[in-house]
Chain A
Amino acid sequence: MNARHPRATSTDNAVDAMLVGAGVPHESAALHVAGTAHYTDDIQEPHGTLHLAIGTSPIAHGRLRGVDLAAVRAAPGVVDVITAADIPGINDVGPIQHDDPVFANGVVQFVGQPVFAVAATSVNTARRAARLAIYDIEPLTPILTIEAAMAAQSFVLPPVHVTRGDAAAALARAPRRLQGTVAVGGQDHFYLEGQIALAIPVEHGGMHIHTSTQHPGEVQHMVAHVLGLAAHDVVVECRRMGGGFGGKETQMSLFACAAALIARRTGRAAKLRLDRDDDMRSTGKRHAFTYQYDVGFDAQGRILGLDLTLASRCGFSADLSGPVNDRAVFHADNTYWLPDVALHSYRCKTNTVSDTAFRGFGGPQGMFPIENIIDEVAHALGRDPLDVRHVNLYGTTTQNITPYGMPIEDNIAPALIAQLESSSRYRQRREDIAVWNDANPVIKRGIALTPVKFGISFTATHYNQAGALLHLYNDGTLLLNHGGTEMGQGLFTKVAQIVAQELGVAMDAIRVSASDTSKVPNASPTAASSGSDLNGMAARNAARTLRERLVTFAARKFDCDPQIIEFRGGIVTAGSKTLPFADLVHLAYMARVQLSATGFYATPKIHYDRKTLSGRPFFYFAYGAAVSEVAIDTLTGEHRLLAVDILHDVGTSLNPALDRGQIEGGFVQGWGWLALEELWWNDRGELKTYAPSTYKIPTAHDVPAHFRIDFFDAPNREETIYRSKAVGEPPLMLALSGFAALRDAIASTDRHRRSPRLDAPATDERILASITELRQRAISHG
């Protein structure tokens, strides 16, 4: 067997088993199903807590001449109202650039931009009062689309160009050449728990903030500088999030600051829980992109030259758009060797909400065009797109340098794709589908295999560090803390498994505790799929420190060689002496051995030049591939995902049950992005899909019964924690196979003679339009 089935294993007798690598349930699973897992809104509020609501701009772009808040202030139950003028520190929550005001000041830049906050004695009172403001805004012409921004050269950051060789010359020389454009929409995170913050004033004018965040450290710094405090005056705590997906990497800062401002002014605890509508209108989303390409290739479909423009809608401010667009450029190659290439990245400024991190962080938008291009090339040559994918794959010793100059040392894509091609019976199914399509005029089927290669590490090199704090109490139980955050991905479970493994104790000996800026300082966001890689290593280092102290103590105490001391199953063996772990700990405590340790980790090897985007931004790559099969209705454009086969690379799995969950969940979220979820703005820049009634994420019905996940059996060649690989983001991009399968089904209506034009998301309407356009092209070309 080359692949292991990632089904969970029982943990009942995990004490004697290897804990790392077991399908241990999520550390909070029992709390989740009992309704006793506490999220920020479930924390008992201090007496007299005030509730906030925000008032937002109704205009996409305009001069904010003033806002009449008299009616808001006069509403019963209202205690305080704040605007930009009430900020004692700096009115900015921009994570990199300083262009993200807490409250609009002088100008409004998108519909939904916060202008003020009102605090009242109840949530409903505050929300009602917020609607009573009268805005005095002189409208300015908004820029709402990528096209309009490109025409106006409106950018949040300067364009970036990455080139290798001479793309123009390669294109001119190429035997075949084609050009095209394609676009992909954005995506709302739709974390089930909306943005929320509870600010509790503490002594020295400080703040204790409970919030749902992937980056407590950033909230701490933002609250500090907005309030004019130092970092040590602000504590930020988050036990768990009800989903993050990148939407809580920077977006919660504004709301935490608003709550803290009210708490500061009133001396009362203040909570801001956004209504879902406000959350969807006022927080950033995945970047939409448009692409233009010019590709030269040979008779086999080998790409010889590529000129690709990637233009993204960033919204009104930079937020994380710089690194998101950098990552798009870093993934424009996906698994393919592009000898002569020119990549042009434009970061468009628009009068829409500022787009932000979302699982994949530009990587999915980077891979989208190259997979489209491969399909176009295949159609031009009348070849199976999979054959064209094969001939373009990176080599292992030659043709293995990315456009940004990083040698790929771990290329398992060819072997992985070959294995999936066989295990999914891709060739046979393609033949079966052709037979079906010949016989069925209304319902057409399609199939595609697409690969993923995703770079692991923050491209902001300094973020690739982590800390952990491990307390060992004198009853033998452990309290674990680290800089990572839990948003459902199972990070806390994996890190606890690692600590349990290192100390030879059962999982229930370890209590994981809330992410807390007062325990681990300067923690990076839990993002870039890096949570386990970084925090797992930091926690292991802390556990090893404790272990070494206990070994030293036991060797002296029991007069044995430290080398032979074993920690296993809650029992310590020191030569002829055997005793429970808890007993050894108690003895160590009585002997005044330090039982608390910190751990630290910094990722090795990585470096790159931010100006030229060249170097080694990634420690390693995570790979995967998926085969998707779909059906479409040629009368209505309706579509259905029929089957998915995934082969994914998680290195040596830390927890196959959790890893499988990340793969499945990532795939379905990616399918939502590409096939279901449409963000729709009207011509005034108002988002009309701002609630689940109009914005449709996948439901259980949208997931096929045939949904097979296998792991590619190979350890990480880099020295990561237990040779595992990051798994949070890469599976999302496996859904590109579903989109390619839709294109394949559409192409079958024209007997695969021409390549369909299809933008994402592939709504019913877009699919029907694509079929119609293909038919019209067939008629006009004969």
Chain B
Amino acid sequence: MPDHSPSTALRFLLNGEPVVVGGCSPQTTLLEYLREQRRLTGTKEGCAEGDCGACTVVLAEIAPVTGAIAWQPINACIRLLPSVAGKAVFTIESLAATDGAQHPVQQAMVACHASQCGFCTPGFTMSLFGLYKSGQKPTRAVIEDALSGNLCRCTGYRPIVEAALAMVDFPSPNGWRGAVDIEANESTLKMALAALADPQPLQFSGDGATWFAPRTVDQLAAVVAAHPAARIVAGATDVGLWVTKQHKNIGDIVYVGDVADLRRIDTSATHVELGAAVSLTAAFAALDSQWPELHEAWVRFASVPIRNSGTLGGNIANGSPIGDSMPALMALGATVILRHRDRERELPLEELYIAYQRSAMIPGEFLVRIRIPRRAPGLSLRAYKISKRFDQDISAVFVCFALTIDREITTSARIGCGGVAATPRRATATEASLAGQRWNDTNAEAAADKLSSEFAPIGDMRASAHYRRTVLGNLLRRFRLETSGAPLTTRIAQVTLAAD
């Protein structure tokens, strides 16, 4: 009979050293812990909402699928401390070698004059450290993405990008501050992480609230059933702001990030299935293999650190009208698998959303996985995001067009829209106007007009209602141009300079 009594000690590695935290409030943030309890003040608070990156630290864990160490920059400001249990946290203080020699990333930052006021610098350095450890060749596009979650107000970024291009050319020092020589030999870190691995659920209380971290879906179902008022949390990229900005008392928290089955990605002959706790980073990589046309939309989804912490299930369950994954998944015909106690049910994604911040889920029910039918032949697919800034911005409008075209006839049309109503929506009237019709300029133009008038969006700080309606129609016009075979430049990103 296996012992099912939960563990109560929160253990993780901090800069290579094992630490045990006892008796913290479950809603303590990682940044609070680092700065206030450990006086590791190199990690900064710039915004406390995961948008500036001054708090970037790198989280290392053994990746569920590959077994290799995944090095993930994350925002410490909105990450809940207990969610790093079993993982390794590296802060800026760990970067230099034991003899003080700078890490290649640090050497490059200094050599390229990449710091001015220096306040954002630890965050940038850690994002670049994450990139360095990823082993990717740092091209300009890769670097821009790696830095999508870091704001600098002084340098204009050019020297930071230059440091990122140059960092691989700087010598690597011997030795690493902390207990293990991670740089040279990751097996030491793997062993340290393996030693921390705990098959038991984690459960502890502090400040009048309890943290539940089940390991299996059955355990999760039991906890949720027993504590229906507890808040389900994964990366806390939204719930973290309830703590830091709204100063809410979250109460009991059920953390789903350690439920192994919810981190599975399964591809069958008919479907791609993504567990609810699969990180956005991992989910988008899986989607890219089937639907590469969506890649740009995913690159523009929040930032690298947010995508590392946040989960696809969290984006869906949160149900924000301006969440970017849902319109695309609706266009792909995704369904969601919900579970209540021991019963599962499947719903088309669009039926999950009833009204603003209201879903079809009943108390005690939770999202298990997302199921997407594999690509149909003849699919024309595009996702377009409109926001004030390319990186890390909330959409004014997000639209995904998925048309199946057979001998110039649209046999199926699915259009998912965000930012146009109180929930993510399909443009059913526009879809109906296209289905069964010839895919030509005339019909596309009529559909564009229809799409412009299909919704009654609000106007706010992101865009006026008029702009949202206009641009919806114009994005259908863009989609027509891009799928009509005309060799036209339709995207500002495609413009290159003759001089370069």
Contacts and interface: CB of A to CB of B under 8 A. Distances in A.
B52 interface: yes
Contacts of B173: none
Nearest to A28: B118
Contacts of B121: 32-33
A273 to B, nearest CB: 8
B497 A642 contact: yes
Interface string B45-75: 1111101101000000000000000000000
Nearest to A241: B117
Given A192-B117, A243-B119, A488-B116, A633 B492 contact: yes
Nearest to B161: A700
B153 A636 contact: no
A473 B93 CA distance: 32
Nearest to A635: B474
B113 A23 contact: yes
Given A33-B121, A242-B119, A764-B388, A635 B492 contact: no
Contacts of A764: 386, 388, 396, 463, 467, 471
B116 A691 contact: no
A669 interface: yes
Interface stretch (A90-98, A139-147, A441-449, A564-572): A441-449
A37 B147 CA distance: 22
Nearest to A188: B153
A511 to B, nearest CB: 17
Contacts of B148: 699-701
Interface in A685-738: 688-689, 691-694, 696-703, 705-707
Contacts of A699: 144, 147-148, 150-151, 157, 389-392
B461 A488 contact: no
Contacts of A765: 396, 463-464, 467
B106 A703 contact: no
B247 A193 contact: no
Contacts of A8: 111-113
A124 to B, nearest CB: 7
A190 B460 CA distance: 21
Contacts of A276: 46-49
Interface in B132-186: 140, 143-144, 147-148, 150-161
A583 interface: no
A657 interface: yes
Interface stretch (B36-44, B336-344, B345-353, B374-382): B36-44
Contacts, number: 281
A191 interface: yes
B500 A633 contact: no
A640 B153 CA distance: 19
Contacts of A658: 113
A750 interface: no
A360 to B, nearest CB: 15
Contacts of B54: 192
A755 B261 CA distance: 61
Interface residues of A, number: 97
A400 to B, nearest CB: 33
A707 B93 contact: no
Interface in B460-475: 460-464, 467, 470-471, 474-475
A33 B109 contact: yes
A6 to B, nearest CB: 10
A39 B54 CA distance: 13
A768 B471 contact: yes
Contacts of B493: 640
Contacts of A694: 394, 461-462
Interface centre among A190, A692, A705 (most CB of B within 10 A): A692
Nearest to A639: B492
A703 B152 CA distance: 12
Given A488-B118, A664-B155, A692 B93 contact: no
Contacts of B394: 693-694
A661 B118 CA distance: 13
A128 B151 contact: no
Interface centre among A629, A636, A769 (most CB of B within 10 A): A636
A84 to B, nearest CB: 25
A124 B28 CA distance: 11
A640 B42 contact: no
A640 B496 CA distance: 11
A665 B110 contact: no
A442 B480 CA distance: 12
B46 A192 contact: yes
A629 B499 CA distance: 12
Interface in A22-56: 23, 25-26, 28-39, 41-42, 44
B478 A442 contact: yes
B191 interface: no
A319 B394 CA distance: 34
B148 to A, nearest CB: 6
B154 A30 contact: no
Given A640-B495, A661-B159, A665-B156, A131 B247 contact: yes
B372 interface: no
B268 interface: no
A526 interface: no
Given A30-B110, A191-B117, A442 B490 contact: yes
A437 B49 CA distance: 42
B492 A34 contact: no
A275 interface: yes
A665 B154 contact: yes
Contacts of A291: none
B122 interface: yes
B264 interface: no
B309 interface: no
B125 interface: yes
A697 B157 contact: no
A680 interface: yes
> Which among A429, A488, A707 has the highest number of chain B CB atoms within 10 Å?
A488
B295 interface: no
Given A488-B117, A699-B389, A692 B460 contact: no
A702 B147 CA distance: 12
A691 B247 contact: no
A631 interface: yes
Nearest to A189: B153
Nearest to B470: A768
A127 B245 CA distance: 9
B91 interface: yes
Interface string A659-699: 01100111111000000101010000000110111101111
B488 interface: yes
B305 to A, nearest CB: 13
A692 B153 CA distance: 12
B226 to A, nearest CB: 29
Nearest to A668: B156
Contact of A692 (B143, B151, B156, B494): B151
Contacts of B117: 191-193, 240-244, 487-488
B156 A676 contact: no
Contact of A442 (B111, B151, B489): B489
A352 to B, nearest CB: 15
A242 B388 contact: no
Given A34-B42, A192-B117, A636-B471, A701 B144 contact: yes
Nearest to B160: A700
Given A33-B110, A124-B247, A696 B388 contact: yes
Which of B52, B143, B464 counts the most chain A CB atoms within 10 A? B52
Closest 6 CB pairs of A and B: A35-B42, A488-B117, A242-B119, A32-B118, A35-B92, A668-B156
Given A29-B118, A36-B42, 11 more contacts: A35-B41, A38-B41, A41-B35, A190-B153, A193-B44, A193-B46, A631-B492, A639-B492, A698-B157, A701-B390, A768-B471
23 contacts: A26-B118, A29-B113, A33-B105, A39-B119, A193-B119, A240-B117, A243-B154, A276-B49, A445-B495, A632-B492, A633-B492, A635-B478, A636-B471, A638-B492, A676-B388, A676-B389, A688-B460, A692-B52, A693-B51, A699-B144, A699-B390, A700-B144, A702-B390
